[in-house]
Structure 1
Amino acid sequence: MTDQPLNGPDAPRGCPVAHGGGDGLTRLYGPDAATDPIGIYSRLRKQHGPVAPVLLEGDIPAWLVLGYRENRRVLDNPRQFSRDSRIWRDWKDGRVESTSPLIPMLGWRPDCVSQDGEPHRRLRGAVTDNLQAVSSRGIRRHVTHFANKLIDSFAGAGSADLVSDYSEYLPMLVLTRVFGLAESEGRQLAESTALVMKGGAEAIVHNDRIMQILGELAERKRVEPGSDFTTGLLEHHADLDDDEILNHLRLVLITANATTSNLLARVLQLVLTDTNRLSGLVSGQLNISAVVEEVMWNTPPLAVLPGRFAAADLELGGHRIQEGDLLVLGLTAGNVDPEIRPDVGISVHGNQSHLAFSGGPHECPGQNIGQAIIETAVDALLHRLSGLRLAVTPDELTSTASTWEAKLDRLPVEFST
């Protein structure tokens, strides 16, 4: 990985930052970025301050927002920092191919996260109304059912990997019930979602696979409606068209699964690497929400949030951002910004001002559902598996990062049978 000075962060159009030459810029993808994203954020902060020029897949230039206050400014000001990628200069000028692995995460779609203003409010209203309806229909009952089903598959073995055997698939199984999908489609959708988030050559193929499954689902629900999220979108008074229906199904499926599975794995990691937390949860002296809150601050489920696009020339973090520039939001970096957390060891209990749910008008609308899945999933494990303990030392646990997330590789445990 290279991390060398530029010709100045305020260089004019035609420099590597503006037009993708990229020599000397840090890449947020590839082998180096996969192993030490926190180290990359730290080096970039020291070299460039709260905003740093980086390269995404295909050596596409972007600004990585590292500072907490700078992240808040971008999230809270959609008129300056639009979510509409149709103004993305590198896309408009043909430097980003339609087959780029960035497109599933950054390309424009007829969904609420791709738009601002009134179009955003109309579409988001349909999503939030139906998420609220779903959460009132016994979401914890669905989690309990599928959690016990997964636990049954390994409970007699005395050991398991709580990533591959549990957290990687439980949220998607719950989502199949919420969406009105067949349970048998859950594993395939979970795998495809993970590969879309990972990026690389397979991202487009797996995005297309997800769209095909969801398109078939929407057609079925037009004929056989039910009390599910899909039917709710089809019947909502916002009158979404076919493309809007399909793209909102995709949006909720991918984001809900990826963030919840990552968060569940990290919560379990924190619980199992700290015997005081584990015993506190088992005894009822500690509330799981406090553990979730700590994870939200230190290892949020999305490390980097895609993306915002400068609506005009402006200044951010001491750098001159040009109209059409892409910005990606460093949620992990912002949460550990030394300007607001000079000592990350200090308790954050009761402080919910983290960046993990994004912020501003595009803040995640499914927080309550994610929280319900996490709390119920952890509770089911602790009550079903007696003597649950980590099977390796904490320092043997590893993570692999992509541009957007840092996933726990495995979480081997042992327990009594």
Structure 2
Amino acid sequence: MTSPFDPTPLPPPECPAHASGGAPEPEVSEIGPGGLRRLYGPAHEKDPMGLYEKLRAEHGPVAPVLLNGDVPAWLVLGHSENLHMTRTPSLYSRDSRRWRMLQDGSLDMTNPLAPIFAYQPVCVFADGAEHERQRGAVTDSIARIDHRGVRRFINRFSNRLVNDFCESGQADLVSQFAEHLPMMVMCQIIGMPEEYDEELVQAAREMLKGSEKAIAANEHVMGALYRLVARRRAEPEEDFATWLVEHPAQFTDDEAAHHLRLVLIAAYETTANLIANVLRMVLTDPRFRAQLSGGHMTLPEAVEQTLWDEPPFTTILGRWAAGDSELGGQKIKAGDALIVGIAPANVDPVVRPEPSASMQGNRAHLAFSGGPHECPGQDIGRAIADTGVDALLMRLPDIQLSVEEDELRWRSTLMSRHLIELPVSFAPRPPQEITGPVIPERAGAAARDWQISSPRRPDPAASGTVPQPGPVPAAPRTAPPAATVPAQRRGSAPVRAWRTLVTWWRGY
């Protein structure tokens, strides 16, 4: 099949297609020019997975689609085709400047997706040696995080959030838990706990929604990160920002700040969605309840199942063809845009003939993409999700969804399907004392138990190597809070066995 894409100029900014105020925009139909299906509008908003299956039935593992503004692209639906695309950067580049529509001027930065595809000097838009330099600094710095210690830290913040609403007997687990825990944890890990507040959380949400407040929100986030980079240049500490600015890759201040934003915002969005999706499935899916109550599934395994069924990102724009090629029976032209189809690939009949089948113990999903651009911080995201959900369920064992499942509302964008609210009810209970410091002391303080305890990094030029993390200091042993087994876990798993498992998993 030949490429159906013959790019034509987008309508000018004053055209109704770009209307941003005044009269309401006309409803967008599912079918656009050339008979291609749109990956935006009511049909996509209501049922993106249904739309993916229509495309698979019509075109196979690679389908032509229209993005916002009726911009043509290829959506890759097949599991093996996605792996081939993400693992072959020589054919399918991450450099958006290769997009033919940008080169010929038929696409400009007035498109609503411009914040996603606009080129930035960060590793996600780089290939080859430049990608290795920038990505190496990020992955080396992530590798220095003590994953075992960070779970104790996540548990403290989770309990702090639960304390904020446990006396009321009701909560929205999206706005009061899932959207806050990742930001609290990431601000601590990268080294700016003093910047965490409601304004930072909302700024991240506005950036991801691409609203009219997105530019101001981005300025707020970048201001905090530039201040952090300046502090760490002057006063290094044992945190992610310091490891990044001191890395042999020799980041400029701009590179350091932009990579910190990349890590902060990407980790925030994916983990907030993951937490919300895990909680929803635990509260509504009888399979989850039965397997958890019977001891046949641990929370980390529940997280992994959720990554198959409800990945935090449904798609990722994009890849851009470096030359003419063939993928999934479609002829791709140089300069075409391609979309990594994470959610549709996870239910590809070739790898998952029965969509409802349990994928327990299988990590072949594409929730974190693949190839050289696979998410480097995925284990931190997993830790935040399973530790946070575990802490919440231990504190509120009788938690129940306070609306019918079909009343839950979602917001779908090109890249994600975001649960808007998750209202729950439970028996009111008093706040719990949180042991240990919540916010680390400032410069000069001893490293907290979530941090790496290692000597100051030697001059990379002198050694030519990056030192490995030193030993982790023993954390004070405190008895876990008394708790009953959550209602959905009662059955064949006795309380003592559950507590033993939790103690073993947390490491304290």
Q: Same fold (TM over 0.5)?
A: yes
1:231-310 matches, within 5 Å, as 231-274=242-285, 277-278=288-289, 281=292, 286-310=297-321
2:191 aligned residue (180, 184, 190)? 180
- Deviation, 1:251, is 0.9
Change (3 A) 1:70 1:116: same
CA distance in 2 between counterparts of 1:276 and 1:403 reads: 29
- Deviation, 1:359, is 0.6
Root mean square deviation of aligned Cα? 2.2
- Deviation, 1:198, is 2.6
Q: For residue 196 of structure 2, give the secondary structure of its aligned residue in structure 1.
A: helix
Per-residue CA deviations over 1:273-309 (Å, capped at 9, x if unaligned) read 1356347546865311211111111111000012100
Aligned residue identity for 1:402: T
Aligned to 2:392: 381
CA distance in 1 between counterparts of 2:345 and 2:197 reads: 33
Equivalent pair of 2:154/2:185 in contact (CA under 8 Å): yes
CA distance in 2 between counterparts of 1:294 and 1:137 reads: 22
Q: For residue 75 of structure 2, give the secondary structure of its aligned residue in structure 1.
A: strand
Equivalent pair of 2:3/2:332 in contact (CA under 8 Å): no
Aligned residue identity for 2:163: D
* Range that drifts further, 296-305 or 53-62: 53-62
1:406 aligned residue (413, 417, 427)? 417
Aligned residue identity for 2:196: E
Per-residue CA deviations over 1:369-396 (Å, capped at 9, x if unaligned) read 1111111101111111131122122222
- Number of aligned positions between the proteins: 407
* Range that drifts further, 92-101 or 343-352: 92-101
- Whether 1:146 and 2:181 are equivalent positions in the alignment is no
* Range that drifts further, 196-205 or 219-228: 196-205
More helix by share: 1
Aligned to 2:51: 40
Aligned residue identity for 1:181: M
Aligned residue identity for 2:102: W
Aligned to 2:203: 192
* Range that drifts further, 111-120 or 129-138: 129-138
Equivalent pair of 1:180/1:230 in contact (CA under 8 Å): yes
Aligned residue identity for 1:414: S
- Whether 1:209 and 2:220 are equivalent positions in the alignment is yes
- Whether 1:84 and 2:76 are equivalent positions in the alignment is no
Per-residue CA deviations over 1:300-349 (Å, capped at 9, x if unaligned) read 10000121000001111222111111111110011111232221122211
- Deviation, 1:232, is 1.1
1:10 aligned residue (2, 5, 9)? 2
Q: For residue 319 of structure 2, give the secondary structure of its aligned residue in structure 1.
A: strand
Aligned residue identity for 1:292: V
- Deviation, 1:71, is 0.7
CA distance in 2 between counterparts of 1:286 and 1:67 reads: 28
CA distance in 2 between counterparts of 1:99 and 1:222 reads: 36
% of aligned pairs identical?
A: 47
| Greater radius of gyration (CA) | 2
Return 5+ residue gaps in structure 1 as ranges.
1-8
- Deviation, 1:19, is 6.6
* Range that drifts further, 69-78 or 203-212: 203-212
CA distance in 2 between counterparts of 1:116 and 1:272 reads: 42
Change (3 A) 1:285 1:416: farther
Aligned to 1:97: 108
Change (3 A) 1:409 1:42: same
Per-residue CA deviations over 1:236-295 (Å, capped at 9, x if unaligned) read 111112221122111111111110110111111111113563475468653112111111
- Deviation, 1:30, is 3.0
Aligned to 1:345: 356
- Deviation, 1:111, is 1.3
Change (3 A) 1:253 1:123: same
Query: So what's the TM-score if we normalise by structure 1?
Result: 0.91
Change (3 A) 1:316 1:396: same
1:29 aligned residue (34, 40, 49)? 40
Equivalent pair of 1:304/1:403 in contact (CA under 8 Å): yes
Change (3 A) 1:96 1:20: closer
Per-residue CA deviations over 1:1-60 (Å, capped at 9, x if unaligned) read xxxxxxxx52476x25x7769613322223332211112111111222211222222332
Equivalent pair of 1:130/1:232 in contact (CA under 8 Å): yes
2:138 aligned residue (127, 138, 141)? 127
Aligned to 2:82: 71
Change (3 A) 1:11 1:136: closer
Aligned residue identity for 2:68: E
CA distance in 1 between counterparts of 2:99 and 2:214 reads: 20
Change (3 A) 1:336 1:152: same
Aligned residue identity for 2:135: R
Equivalent pair of 2:314/2:415 in contact (CA under 8 Å): yes
Change (3 A) 1:187 1:94: farther
1:319 aligned residue (316, 320, 330)? 330
Change (3 A) 1:384 1:120: same
Equivalent pair of 2:38/2:70 in contact (CA under 8 Å): yes
Per-residue CA deviations over 1:64-119 (Å, capped at 9, x if unaligned) read 11111111110111100011112111122223323543232222222111111221
Aligned residue identity for 2:69: G
Q: For residue 138 of structure 1, give the secondary structure of its aligned residue in structure 2.
A: helix
Aligned residue identity for 1:194: R
CA distance in 2 between counterparts of 1:146 and 1:96 reads: 44
Change (3 A) 1:232 1:392: same
CA distance in 1 between counterparts of 2:110 and 2:146 reads: 36
Query: So what's the TM-score if we normalise by structure 2?
Result: 0.76
- Deviation, 1:184, is 4.7
- Whether 1:108 and 2:131 are equivalent positions in the alignment is no
Q: For residue 134 of structure 1, give the secondary structure of its aligned residue in structure 2.
A: coil
Return 5+ residue gaps in structure 2 as ranges.
12-31, 429-508
Per-residue CA deviations over 1:126-175 (Å, capped at 9, x if unaligned) read 11111121234822233122211111110001111111110011101111
